[in-house]
Amino acid sequence: MYSRRSAFRLLCRCLLLSGLAHGAAGAAGAARPNILWITSEDNSPYLGCYGDPNAETPNLDRLAAEGVRYRQAFANAPVCSTARSTLITGMYATSLGVQHHRSRVAIPAAFKLYPTYLRAAGYYCTNNPKTDYNLKNAGQPWDESGAGAHYRKRAPGQPFFAIFNLTSSHESLVAPKAGKTAFRVPVGRIVLPPYHPDTPVIRRDWANYYDQVTKMDREVGAVLTELEREGLADDTIIFYCSDHGGALPGGKRSIHESGTRIPFIVRFPEKWQHLAPAARGAWVERPISLVDMPPTIFSLCGVPIPAHYDGVPFLGVSQQPPPGFVYLFRDRMGERHDASRAIRDPEFRYVRNYAPHRPWGQHCQYAHELQPSMRSWFAEFEAGRCNDAQAAYWRPRQPEELYELARDPFETRNLAVVPAQAARLGEMRAKLHAQIIRRRDTGFIPEGMFDRLAGQKTLYDYAHSDSYPIEAIVTLAEQASSYDEKFLPDLRTALENGNPVIRYWGATGCLILRGKSAPARAALRTLLDDDWPDVRIVAAEALGWHGELDAALATLATAAASSEPYVAMEALNALDNLRLAGAPLARVQALVRGLKLDDPAVRIQEHLLSLE
């Protein structure tokens, strides 16, 4: 008797043979739409059709007038590789362990990437040109991927699924080129978000960014013109969206609206207009996120939706009712560890920070080197010229955040501390907790433990086994990140637990409490000899805040020299942060100088050695 998964594989094989036969006969596209998917990079809804008065985007405005706009569309993660990993797998990156920026983690071989299923159903699938997945075993799921990939190379009559990825709005192009002084939107007319200080440098980067968005729009126009010239517009459903939110500081990498809300437009030609969710030019209010895209494409194309997919189809014959919220996550960004989760419903965003002792604005070498506006913002903060909304990016965070978006679109007023919102806070807290458990979120496992815990299997397999007591771990992580010393007895008990992930969160809670965790010092010292490097690292940093810098620095120096890149990275993160606990910069520099490190640890090393 076949299992559900075996039956699905058999169906896909049948569809593959059927699709190939139809392709050879030149008739496969007769009853199925083509899909053209245009993506841009690093841009929030800074478009005319989304009401931005500074935008000049006539091609996307026309596409929106001829199609529908989703008002509440989101990337599940605010950075490229994690968002794309979610897309290509049809699963939350956190379900698979591929949530960390530019990691390489294997996923179960049975989980094929979505172009594989489309190709099995007879579609010609191209990707032009970006991949950028956090997958060790991505393989080549496309018929063609690269700068020359194009739908016109398909067999006669074969339906196509084609991605064109546009990079003009990427954060690497935010800063104007040397000598550029004139901008389409004068710098004095730029209306800054309230979290940005008003400096000439920040205004200039914003003005230049609008120029880049206009350039991107022209590129969209060229793709659309080509489709019409090929005579395919009447047979093609067109999608446009960005991979995540805006490129300016405080946008990309932020789990808030500025980093996760995206423009999302769909145009249906006349023959497929019956599949549209609303009339041409209308807004669609249903919340959607990128994890919903693969099952939605399958629903439109008549392809069976794999049972392991996390997303919900929002168009086509298989569409389902909306779940009521989208699930968002932020983990390691570049060389800096973090762990935050959020849910966003039509009215509110709830954020849970599991590393609140770290600021949103941890030094990220890539962003700081590329963006003068990032450096300008930090300089204003250091000089004491930022108000509370502007300084919050550089300060430790609250464990919980709650925002009412209609009244506070820039999320500067945290309602989690408002007594009148206690009931709503508790409701959204419970929803997020349940979602984390349901999806077996792997983000609570230190990255340096991945391979050893997974063994010969994948991290997904480990996370779906009894070896991963996720309910206990997430509950402990909530206690550890609460700043509440009433949980210290639970944290001390966790330090002696047989599970290394639980010991890690017990030590993390002691680190977050700093001096208030003094009764746990003896147990923390014991963990300096723990079998697991990640446990030793966080215990050492916690002890550093209790004045035991010699023992802490010795432990971290050994870990920083590790051949395991994520162990070394975490050790260097701890060394950098212990400067706040009084570790002399010269001593820290002496410990890291001469280490032979790989990316991403080498970026922290370079940062530390550049300080004076």
Residue 498, domain CATH: 1.25.10.10
Range of the domain at 599: 469-610
Instruction: Flag whether 581 is in a domain.
Output: yes
pLDDT digit string (tens) for 226-270?
Answer: 999 999 999 999 999 999 999 999 999 999 999 999 999 999 999
pLDDT for res 296 = 98
pLDDT digit string (tens) for 102-131?
Answer: 999 999 999 999 999 999 999 999 999 999
Token pair 């390691």: residue? 332
Q: Is the peptide bond before 600 cis (omega within 30 degrees of 0)?
A: yes
What's the number of domains the chain is made of?
A: 2
pLDDT for res 373 = 97
Band (303; pLDDT cuts 50, 70, 90):
very high
Instruction: Flag whether 526 is in a domain.
Output: yes
Please say which residue of 294, 318, 342 terminates a domain. Answer: 318
Token pair 């690292």: residue? 537
Average pLDDT over residues 167-193: 96
Band (4; pLDDT cuts 50, 70, 90):
very low
Please say which residue of 318, 337, 362 terminates a domain. Answer: 318
Average pLDDT over residues 277-287: 98
Q: Which residues make Cβ contacts (< 8 Å) with residue 282, sequence separation at least 6? A: 68, 69
pLDDT for res 416 = 98
pLDDT for res 17 = 35
Instruction: Flag whether 232 is in a domain.
Output: yes
Instruction: Flag whether 302 is in a domain.
Output: yes
CA distance 496 to 71: 49
* Whether residue 8 has pLDDT greater than 50: no
Instruction: Flag whether 435 is in a domain.
Output: no
* Whether residue 21 has pLDDT greater than 60: no
Instruction: Flag whether 175 is in a domain.
Output: yes
Q: Taking a C-beta distance cutoff of 8 angstroms, is the pair 90, 313 a contact?
A: no
Q: Taking a C-beta distance cutoff of 8 angstroms, is the pair 235, 271 a contact?
A: yes
400-404 β-sheet, strand order = 326-330, 340-344, 348-353, 400-404
pLDDT for res 364 = 95
Instruction: Flag whether 239 is in a domain.
Output: yes
Residue whose C-alpha is closest to residue 435's, from 496, 543, 345: 345
444 or 13: which carries more pLDDT confidence? 444
pLDDT for res 31 = 85
Q: Taking a C-beta distance cutoff of 8 angstroms, is the pair 309, 35 a contact?
A: no
* Whether residue 6 has pLDDT greater than 90: no
Residue 103 sits in a domain whose CATH number is 3.40.720.10
Average pLDDT over residues 45-60: 97
Q: In the Cβ-directed half-sphere of 1, how many Cα atoms lie within 13 Å? A: 2
Distance from the Cα of residue 135 to its chain's centroid? 14
pLDDT for res 28 = 38
* Whether residue 221 has pLDDT greater than 60: yes
Active site (annotated) includes residue 14: no
* Whether residue 23 has pLDDT greater than 80: no
CA distance 107 to 458: 6
Instruction: Flag whether 429 is in a domain.
Output: no
* Whether residue 2 has pLDDT greater than 70: no
Please say which residue of 318, 340, 372 terminates a domain. Answer: 318
pLDDT digit string (tens) for 373-400?
Answer: 999 999 999 999 999 999 999 999 999 9
pLDDT for res 558 = 98
Q: Taking a C-beta distance cutoff of 8 angstroms, is the pair 452, 564 a contact?
A: no
160-166 β-sheet, strand order = 144-145, 124-128, 160-166, 34-40, 236-242, 264-267, 68-70, 283-284
pLDDT for res 495 = 98
Q: Taking a C-beta distance cutoff of 8 angstroms, is the pair 340, 330 a contact?
A: yes
What b-and-e string marks burial along 512-523, b requiring 16 or more CB atoms within 10 Å of the CB? bbeeebeebeeb
* Whether residue 61 has pLDDT greater than 80: yes
Mean pLDDT of the chain: 94
Choose, from 12, 49, 80, 510, the residue flagged as catalytic: 80
pLDDT for res 20 = 33
Which residue type occupies 586?
Answer: A
Band (13; pLDDT cuts 50, 70, 90):
very low
pLDDT digit string (tens) for 357-374?
Answer: 999 999 999 999 989 999
3-state secondary structure 19-81: HHHHHHHCCCCCCCCEEEEEEECCCCCCCHHHCCCCCCCHHHHHHHHHCEEECCEECCCCCHH
pTM over 0.75: yes
